[in-house]
Structure 1
Amino acid sequence: METKAYFPGPTKVRDNVRQARSLETMNPDMDPEFYEMYSLLGKDIGKIIGTDNQVLILSGEGILGLEAACASLTEPGDRVLVLENGIFGEGFADFVTIYGGIPVVLKFDRLRAMDTQLLQEYLERDHDFKYATLVHCDTPSGVLNPLSDICPMLKRYGILSVVDAVASSGGEPVDADRNMLDICLGASQKAFSAPVGLTFASVSEAAFKSMESRKVPIASYYMNLLSFKDSIANQWFPYSMPASDILGLRRAVDNILDEGIYEFQERHRRIANAVRNAIREYGLSLHLENGYSNTVTVVEMPHSIDVDVFLKRLKKEKGLLLSGSIGYLKNKVIRIGHMGENANMTELLFVFEAMDSIIERMGYKSTEKLKELFMKHMA
């Protein structure tokens, strides 16, 4: 039985992306055409995330970008504001500490989008921070945070922003320039629907200036974003770039541009709304109270159903891989990924048909069918 996965990333990869990765490549160290292609790809990614800032494409999974941003900005003794309403948001504190910074964690309700009034009140009391970190979509809970309120507020206090937009980029409007993001981080394997292996980072002039004015050198070679700033002009990368992976991402970005950025994001919005409405009408509970992402939906299962057993039965009996969560949500919720290539009606019909079958046989009764409810809300 073929197994289909609907995790909140990595996502399904389209055939034309796989084929692009199999093509003969240019020499990424010496061929001027490769530098031209790399530069244009960065600009096209910039169109999708809404920035004219330089976009760097790095060899490494999305976590690379998070650590690289902290490595490049943090000097020993720097105070860094870590905005946290989820597991990944909390994790930024570890990167800050590794590079000698002092993380100050401001915690928010994990069932809701960040409370910007609370943030405003906090910054009025204390705003002596070099930069702040936050996650746009924290995938373990699916919470989406309001960049348009948070990042301009940070900017008014002279605080740079580092935003993990790995799980939102493409599927959600990020609008990095309009929302005043200084470093916006994304990755190949989420809504962009390319294989795992690449990080991208848009970097503002203010962020580059902060790196250039450091009193001590950046304490990493591989994590040094500043070393990429003049790569195109100098025709030199700090390490050999993974040309085949980048050709695959080039094709994946073209898939989004061919569909249209607005149309791509609107597809995510419509499907996410239909998923949430179907779940509610079926009688299950969404984990969050607000701040719902259009790329992942997190569902609380009835107490009578063992989440681990439910997920194992979906895989064994229906060939469906859904995801649980991690940390404090382990064995409490399931996560339905609907981003990139997985954000389409056919794929979600398969998910809900399989869920209908297994959940009923595990004793949960509803007068409705998830599949039929989803179709109704997509109409």
Structure 2
Amino acid sequence: MKFTPGPTTIPPAVRDAMAEPQPNPNIDPAFAERYDAVCRKLETVYDTSHDVVVPGGEGILGLESAIASLIEPGDRVLCISNGLYGDGFADFVDSYDGQAELVSAPYDEGYDLGAIETTLEDADAAGEPFTVATMVHCETPTGTLNDMGPVLDLLEEHDVLSVVDAVSSLGGTPVPTDRIDVCLGASQKCFSAPSGLTTAAVSDRAWEQMAARDPSSRYTNLLLWRDVSDGFPYTHLTANVSALDAALDLVLEEGLEAVYDRHEEAAARCRARGDALGLELYPDPERASPTVTAFHLPGEATRVQQQVADEAGIVLATGLGELADDILRLGHMGYNADTEKVDRAMDAVEAALE
């Protein structure tokens, strides 16, 4: 059993949809109709009035495309971070010759709102305002769910466009999409579809910014996806779109509130089992994501991961970067947000710890 925080296990109905004969995405109207249906379903999942587009490419494509589409060389970007992916936004900014300013908090703490506010005020006072700000809703490597509201308040006050990586939260917990200018998701996390598709909800203000820019790349230019009535920017991934369509049907048939409740129940079961074993969460429990649990096992995570795989055939994840051997992660998201699967995974963890 694969119990990782993405890519997640794919339900049979989604696998079946991917295996069906696929229309030609360049000339067959049936594919355009399916793509449009997927975008409409995603609008419901995002709970947004913004446009939703689905480029072909793994979720990281969305993060890079948001930067490539919104900034030009010299533009200032505020990268707000308390995790590995938050830090990584600065690398994308650098690669497109923007000026990244990183406002960091420790990985086991929430955003530093005071530092964010001061940085925004200082930038405006100096006549060097930020064009864009980036942040991450769910920092998957540490199982942290960040509170977007207070930061979005500050960005709106200072008229800064917001880009949010919601790859590991979208479809598993509510996301304040209509307050975000570019809200990014992906197929392989809470949707439990195969990896290979980016999703993006884009505000009118963000589209206007993109239209005023001179993009340096075609593949990472989100603006090309705003209107695909005359054809797609490149040959789309037909089987992946079909699979995502089926995955979204499962979500919508269950109902978003029921899906969110299922994720909360799975997370609660996982953490109760961990607490009974004396395991500590890495983030503060109030900031722990309902889609992934990160247990703090300093120096032991890799051993436990390997033993669980060898003895129970269950694949778990460890931390990333400097925390690679200190965090054990269980991905109760999408198809795996199931208390019976949580118990099976935690039984294996218990046996490994003993």
Partner of 2:347: 353
The code of the aligned residue for 1:22 comes to A
The answer (yes or no) to whether the contact 1:184–1:201 under 8 Å persists in 2 is yes
* Aligned-pair CA distance for 1:32: 2.5
* Aligned-pair CA distance for 1:30: 1.7
1:192 aligns with 2:187: no
Distance in 1, matches of 2:60 and 2:38, equals: 21
Partner of 1:174: 175
Q: What residue ranges of structure 2 are gaps of 5+ in the alignment?
A: none
Distance in 1, matches of 2:133 and 2:196, equals: 26
TM-score, length-normalised on structure 2? 0.95
TM-score, length-normalised on structure 1? 0.89
CA offset digits 1:134-186 (Å, max 9, x no partner):
01001111111112222232122110001100011100101301xx1000110
Distance in 2, matches of 1:152 and 1:302, equals: 36
Computed over aligned residues only, the root mean square deviation of the Cα atoms, in angstroms, reads 1.4
The answer (yes or no) to whether the contact 2:144–2:283 under 8 Å persists in 1 is yes
1:46 aligns with 2:43: yes
The answer (yes or no) to whether the contact 1:297–1:337 under 8 Å persists in 2 is yes
The answer (yes or no) to whether the contact 1:298–1:333 under 8 Å persists in 2 is yes
CA offset digits 1:253-294 (Å, max 9, x no partner):
000000001110111012212222332232111111241101
The answer (yes or no) to whether the contact 1:43–1:52 under 8 Å persists in 2 is no
Q: Which moved more, 1:336-345 or 1:41-50?
A: 41-50
* Aligned-pair CA distance for 1:302: 6.0
Choose which of 254, 258, 268 in structure 2 pairs with 1:259.
Answer: 254
Compare CA radii of gyration and give the structure with the larger one: 1
Distance in 1, matches of 2:180 and 2:349, equals: 39
Distance in 2, matches of 1:285 and 1:119, equals: 29
**Secondary structure of the structure 2 residue equivalent to 1:264:** helix
Distance in 1, matches of 2:121 and 2:308, equals: 50
Choose which of 110, 121, 124 in structure 2 pairs with 1:124.
Answer: 121
Partner of 2:203: 204
The code of the aligned residue for 1:9 comes to G
Q: What residue ranges of structure 1 are gaps of 5+ in the alignment?
A: 361-379
The code of the aligned residue for 1:91 comes to G
Aligned CA distance change for structure 1 residues 291 and 118 (closer, same or farther; 3 Å): farther
Distance in 2, matches of 1:275 and 1:345, equals: 8
* Aligned-pair CA distance for 1:36: 2.3
Q: Which moved more, 1:29-38 or 1:318-327?
A: 29-38
Aligned residues between the structures = 349
Choose which of 86, 89, 99 in structure 1 pairs with 2:86.
Answer: 89
Partner of 2:321: 327
Partner of 1:213: 212
**Secondary structure of the structure 2 residue equivalent to 1:124:** helix
Distance in 2, matches of 1:307 and 1:65, equals: 30
1:297-336 residue pairs with structure 2 within 5 A? Answer: 297-301=293-297, 306-336=300-330
Distance in 2, matches of 1:181 and 1:202, equals: 8
Percent identity for Structure 1 against Structure 2: 39
CA offset digits 1:12-39 (Å, max 9, x no partner):
1000000001112222112223222212
